[in-house]
């Protein structure tokens, strides 16, 4: 009887201890070597490397949540841990971050009035990029680091929105760029008020440790990232490999696209696998071999089927007989096909793509056709957008014109190379406003809507391709297919 009572008491105490541990872990950072949600994330190698130094915190479920915004107190704790700055023990019932706040103020990472009244509410708010830059530069200079005046001046003129930085953060924001702790965005901005993510915080911590020579080996493990693991027919799969220096160090075995090639960009490799209406739905393996280390890894992607529409088209017999001829096909093969054979190995563009004209979608990507009662053997390679005659057509993005000429089959036609194998195609134009070899900017006038070639009325046939493989332009521009049903919603 006494033994049973004693066991019950022990069980109650153990249960209480477990509950206390769980409750405590919900508020106090959990440090781990690896995290469950980093596979296929671009910052994986940085996060895991910094984790080796017990500088970053995860969650009790083993996740890191890299795209969540990071709180002020979380970033402060990351930097304190990375710098080995001692933090007193927390007293019972005290806000878990209080010892970190005191240590940060004492060590000069933040001012005592940095965020106004130093309380839990203020420190639980998300940290901005300018606030983050201030803390990391303070940590660096505290350890004896200095900023090269020439690099400071260069950084100050490198980004266009430093004038919007809070005055008290200005010098450290510029210094953070000069020291390569924080990078600007492709559009040339620093975005000082933008909230930082947990992934960004980990990278800043890594760069600080590297700059201080605490991390002595700059080599990071190769990180392979797929743009998605499920894609519909017509989508473009992007592959990015971080932390490599030569294209021949990562080889890939796959049976989706035989002409796969890597593009080098510093220590990053990019590659593309296009799919279209001919791609068979199913699960495919991508086997990567790191030739430097011998490591082999396999990732899987699934191609999902699409329900392509059927279009019944009536065309003036005179137009059909004059444009769908062997002469027209031979001309098309001679001039159009080669226009997509060679692409710049360097991307011409840095901004997102745009739809070149507004109007009404009349034909979707991948549709089969019956022309004047006879089924065709081909699929529709792009989207048709009906618009008034001579409506302006704008370049979908920056690139180099590889074709600008009239063709019997497609009328006045334009092809633009955007680099790394990506092309945009424009058919049936009324007028051409660009010439072959010309560089065009995103949104530049390149022509007007017409009905030249094999056409039933004024419209733009627009498509995109990876070399000669046609892809659904909607996935490039909007991340989803463009249909008659969703077109007006996408245009809002």
Residues in the chain, overall count? 492
Question: Per-residue pLDDT tens for 1-53?
Answer: 444 444 443 443 334 333 333 333 333 333 345 789 999 999 999 999 888 88
The alpha carbon dihedral of 442, 446, 448, 454 has a sign of negative
Coil, helix or strand at residue 135: helix
Strands 399-407 and 282-290: unpaired
**Does pLDDT of 142 surpass 70?**
yes
DSSP assigned state of 305: P
Question: Per-residue pLDDT tens for 46-86?
Answer: 999 888 887 887 888 999 999 999 999 999 999 999 999 99
In the chain the first and final C-alpha atoms are separated, in Å, by 75
Question: Per-residue pLDDT tens for 182-227?
Answer: 998 888 899 999 999 999 999 999 999 999 998 877 778 899 999 9
Q: Would you say 383 and 363 are in contact if contact means Cβ atoms under 8 Å apart? A: yes
**CA separation for the pair 136, 129 (Å, rounded):** 11
Orientation of helix 72-83 relative to helix 198-211, angle to 10° = 20
Res 152: pLDDT: 95
Half-sphere exposure of 469 (CA within 13 A, CB side): 22
3-state helix vs strand vs coil in the chain, percent to 5: 30, 25, 45
**Does pLDDT of 307 surpass 90?**
no
pTM score: 0.82
Q: What residues have CB less than 8 Å from 99, skipping those under 6 apart?
A: 87, 88, 89, 90
Confidence of residue 315 (pLDDT cuts 50, 70, 90): low
**CA separation for the pair 480, 476 (Å, rounded):** 8
Q: How far is CA 474 from the centre of its chain?
A: 16
> Cα dist. 391→207, 281, 297, 383 in Å?
50, 38, 50, 17
């Amino acid at each position: 009887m006494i033994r049973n009572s004693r066991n019950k008491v022990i069980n109650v105490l153990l249960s209480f201890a477990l509950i206390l541990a769980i409750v405590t872990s919900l508020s106090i950072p959990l440090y781990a070597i690896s995290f469950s949600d980093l596979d296929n994330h671009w910052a994986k190698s940085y996060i895991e490397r910094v984790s080796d130094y017990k500088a970053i915190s995860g969650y009790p479920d083993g996740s890191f949540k890299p795209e969540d915004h990071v709180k002020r107190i979380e970033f402060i704790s990351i930097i304190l841990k990375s710098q080995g700055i001692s933090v007193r023990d927390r007293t019972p019932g005290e806000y878990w971050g209080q010892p970190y706040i005191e240590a940060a103020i004492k060590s000069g990472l933040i001012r005592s009035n940095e965020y106004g009244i130093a309380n839990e509410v203020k420190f639980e708010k998300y940290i901005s990029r300018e606030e983050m830059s201030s803390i990391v530069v303070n940590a660096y200079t505290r350890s004896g680091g200095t900023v090269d005046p020439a690099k400071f001046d260069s950084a100050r003129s490198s980004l266009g929105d430093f004038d919007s930085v809070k005055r008290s953060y200005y010098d450290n924001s510029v210094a953070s760029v000069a020291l390569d702790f924080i990078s600007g965005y492709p559009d040339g901005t620093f975005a000082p008020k933008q909230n930082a993510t947990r992934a960004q915080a980990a990278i800043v911590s890594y760069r600080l440790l590297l700059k201080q020579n605490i991390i002595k080996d700059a080599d990071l493990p190769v990180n392979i990232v797929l743009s998605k693991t499920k894609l519909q027919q017509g989508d473009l799969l992007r592959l990015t490999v971080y932390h490599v220096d030569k294209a021949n160090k990562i080889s890939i075995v796959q049976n989706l696209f035989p002409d796969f090639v890597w593009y080098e960009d510093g220590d990053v490799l990019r590659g593309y696998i296009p799919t279209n209406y001919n791609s068979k739905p199913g699960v495919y393996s991508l086997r990567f071999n790191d030739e430097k280390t011998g490591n082999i890894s396999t990732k899987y992607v699934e191609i999902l089927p699409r329900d392509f529409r059927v279009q019944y088209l009536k065309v003036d017999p005179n137009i059909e007989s004059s444009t769908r001829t062997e002469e027209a096909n031979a001309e098309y093969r001679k001039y159009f096909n080669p226009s997509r054979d060679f692409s710049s190995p360097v991307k011409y563009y840095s901004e997102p793509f745009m739809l070149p004209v507004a109007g009404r979608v009349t034909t979707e990507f991948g549709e089969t056709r019956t022309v004047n009662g006879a089924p065709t053997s081909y699929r529709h390679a792009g989207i048709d957008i009906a618009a008034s005659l001579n409506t302006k057509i704008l370049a979908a993005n920056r690139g180099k014109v590889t074709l600008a000429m009239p063709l019997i089959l497609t009328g006045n036609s334009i092809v633009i190379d955007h680099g790394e194998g990506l092309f945009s195609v424009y058919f049936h134009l009324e007028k051409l406003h660009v010439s072959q070899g010309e560089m065009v900017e995103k949104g530049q006038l390149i022509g007007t809507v017409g009905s030249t070639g094999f056409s039933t009325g004024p419209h733009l046939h627009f498509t995109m391709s990876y070399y000669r493989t046609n892809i659904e332009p909607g996935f490039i521009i909007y991340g989803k297919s463009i249909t008659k049903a969703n077109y007006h919603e996408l245009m809002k």
